[in-house]
Amino acid sequence: MAGYYDLMLEDGKVERTRARGQFRKKGQKPLVGDWADFESENGEGLIWALHPRENSLVRPPVANVDLAIVVTSVVEPAFSQNLLDRQLVALEAEQVKPVLYFSKLDLLSDQEQAAFREKVSLYQSIGYPVIFAGNDLKTSFGPLLKDKVVVAMGQTGAGKSTLLNQLAPELKLEVGEVSQALSRGKHTTRQVSLIPVKEYETLIADTPGFSSYEVFDFPAEELGNYFPEFREVAVNCRFRTCSHLNEPGCAVKEAVNLGSISAERYNSYELFYQIIKGKRPVYQKNSAKWKTDRLN
């Protein structure tokens, strides 16, 4: 219901509240995952304060995330390395640890599967955990999810709800189909909500999908910090303020030439830098008692 926020209390109960008008005047808005102070009287709850956030994401709009499962389809919708890199940059900027899950691998032939695994092995070499559809998901995900606030994010139709249903069948999330004409999925998830999963002692946020991802809310000069493989070698650049584009003595460009940094990843960096600089358009397909609880 518009204007209302559900708070999950320590005992697992949920209380519906409103946010005080002061938030709107200050341009603040509670996010799923926020810790909030509220009071309740005669069944009416009111949020008085929000605690400082450890991090927050714009897409999906959620705060205080420990781990993000980036669900990426191999086909239907088609794999886009550019889109995957956009999501990873956004997560790196907010210091959210990603784990990459590639869905629909069974729709490829054995030869195509081998080629795809080779293609995305570069993400494993960078240090990102990679899990493929067909793996023992509970064994693969279990240690990563325990005691975490987790967000599942990805393109519409990529298979977020399918994955979460496999991890926790009791969720019974609605699963949509992909439109063959548009190669886009139906939006089966329409809002962000945190779902307790007892097996992993975790909270998992199922989020609406998207068809494009255009979040670069930081200066272009910071972009290199959000490519882990760039950070590792950038200390050897001749200039401390090297943009890794045209400067001489750039250790990043040298690593690209030597093959130790992926040319495809560098192409993503170069495109994102220009987008941030505005040089190129974006193309992408209770009683009056104080309580502290997490927004659900």
pLDDT category, 213, cuts 50, 70, 90? low
Annotate 112-162 with DSSP letters as a single string. Answer: HHHHHHHHTHHHHHHT--EEETTS-HHHHHHHHHTT-EEEEEEBTTSSHHH
Structure-token pair, residue 35:
């810790």
Could you tell me if 229 and 168 lie in one domain? no
Read off the CATH number of the domain in which 122 is found: 3.40.50.300
Q: 273 vs 292, which has greater pLDDT?
A: 273
Q: How far is CA 201 from CA 69, 168, 169, 189, in A?
A: 16, 12, 15, 23
- Mean pLDDT, rounded, of the chain: 84
Total domains in the chain come to: 3
Could you tell me if 70 and 188 lie in one domain? yes
Any binding-site annotation on 158?
yes
Calpha distance 233→197 (Å, rounded):
40
Any binding-site annotation on 160?
yes
Within a domain: residue 215?
no
Any binding-site annotation on 51?
no
Calpha distance 263→173 (Å, rounded):
39
Within a domain: residue 76?
yes
Could you tell me if 69 and 191 lie in one domain? yes
Any binding-site annotation on 154?
yes
Q: Which pLDDT value is given to residue 211?
A: 53
Calpha distance 144→142 (Å, rounded):
5
Any binding-site annotation on 17?
no
Q: What is the identity of the amino acid at 210? A: F
Could you tell me if 177 and 87 lie in one domain? yes
Any binding-site annotation on 206?
no
Encode 171-225 in three state secondary structure.
HCCCCCCEECCCCEECCCCCCCEEEEEHHHCEEEEECCCECCCCCCCCCHHHHHH
Any binding-site annotation on 105?
yes
Q: Which domain holds residue 158?
A: 56-206
Could you tell me if 34 and 65 lie in one domain? no
Q: Which pLDDT value is given to residue 283?
A: 46
Could you tell me if 64 and 199 lie in one domain? yes
Q: Which pLDDT value is given to residue 107?
A: 94
Q: Which of 207, 209, 99, 96 is nearest to 152 (CA)?
A: 207
Could you tell me if 91 and 23 lie in one domain? no
Any binding-site annotation on 152?
no
Any binding-site annotation on 234?
no
Q: 199 vs 247, which has greater pLDDT?
A: 247
Per-residue model confidence as pLDDT tens digits over 28-75: 888 999 999 988 876 678 898 899 999 998 878 899 999 999 999 999
Structure-token pair, residue 134:
């067909």
Any binding-site annotation on 127?
no
Mean pLDDT of 182-186: 30
Any binding-site annotation on 103?
yes
Q: How many residues does the chain have?
A: 296
Q: Which pLDDT value is given to residue 180?
A: 31
Could you tell me if 156 and 181 lie in one domain? yes
Q: How far is CA 109 from CA 74, 121, 273, in A?
A: 12, 18, 36
Could you tell me if 193 and 74 lie in one domain? yes
Any binding-site annotation on 106?
yes
Could you tell me if 130 and 254 lie in one domain? no
Per-residue model confidence as pLDDT tens digits over 234-275: 999 999 999 999 999 999 999 999 999 999 999 999 999 999
Residue 188, pLDDT > 50, answer no
Could you tell me if 122 and 235 lie in one domain? no
